[in-house]
A and B are shown apart, each in its own frame.
Chain A
Amino acid sequence: GAVVSQHPSWVICKSGTSVKIECRSLDFQATTMFWYRQFPKQSLMLMATSNEGSKATYEQGVEKDKFLINHASLTLSTLTVTSAHPEDSSFYICSARGRTGARYTFGSGTRLTVV
């Protein structure tokens, strides 16, 4: 079945630094990838959608200069949280969909803690 690997699974960083999260589709080509954020006891909130080779489309209220998304290949998308602050601490999850599949496959998530 389709597998999406997300790395790292957790990261702690200092305020003001940047953190990069990787999302890889291991056995299929992900034409579209999605990035979500989840705060404790809340549902997943879609942050942005990226298509391979194109600029990401951000949801309303999500700062594109703070959350940089790159989808340079059909198997890799990255989310960089720039100048992180404690309020950026959250659970970040990626999802990928292939060219022909109807199924969306999710990564295992990255817990970011900014101190």
Chain B
Amino acid sequence: DAKTTQPPSMDCAEGRAANLPCNHSTISGNEYVYWYRQIHSQGPQYIIHGLKNNETNEMASLIITEDRKSSTLILPHATLRDTAVYYCIVRDRDDKIIFGKGTRLHILP
């Protein structure tokens, strides 16, 4: 089973920051948090991953709480092309990526 919980859907106005939360309360000390997104009928696209420090790349920022029990993915200036299902994933002990239901993000024009 997936080790993360996410809201099923969220709306965000175009041009605003989209903040997607994720709970992973059972995460262990050496497990990474990964974020992927899936646009309709495509394979998942890697966004970002982190262990305990906040991370930023050209696509997004990842904020991980100090206790590592939750994280937030931030898309700083959402566009219509960011409409997708976003998956927060913790790799399991067998190094497998198990997908939960994700958050369906709607960007509103």
Using a CB–CB distance below 8 Å, which chain A residues touch chain B? Answer: 4, 6, 32, 34, 36, 43-46, 49, 91, 93, 95, 97, 102-109, 111
Contacts and interface: CB of A to CB of B under 8 A. Distances in A.
Nearest to A103: B46
A91 B96 CA distance: 19
B68 interface: no
Nearest to A93: B43
Contact of B41 (A32, A49, A91, A106): A91
Given A43-B101, A109-B41, A49 B96 contact: yes
A46 B43 contact: no
B99 A103 contact: no
Contacts of A45: 99
A106 B89 CA distance: 14
A103 B49 contact: yes
Given A6-B43, A34-B96, A108-B42, 20 more contacts: A4-B43, A36-B99, A43-B87, A43-B101, A44-B44, A44-B99, A46-B99, A49-B96, A93-B43, A95-B97, A97-B95, A102-B49, A103-B46, A104-B97, A106-B36, A107-B43, A109-B41, A109-B42, A109-B43, A111-B41
Interface of B: 32, 34, 36, 38, 41-46, 49, 87, 94-102
Contacts of A104: 34, 46, 97
A43 B97 CA distance: 12
Contacts of B97: 34, 46, 95, 104
A32 B98 CA distance: 15
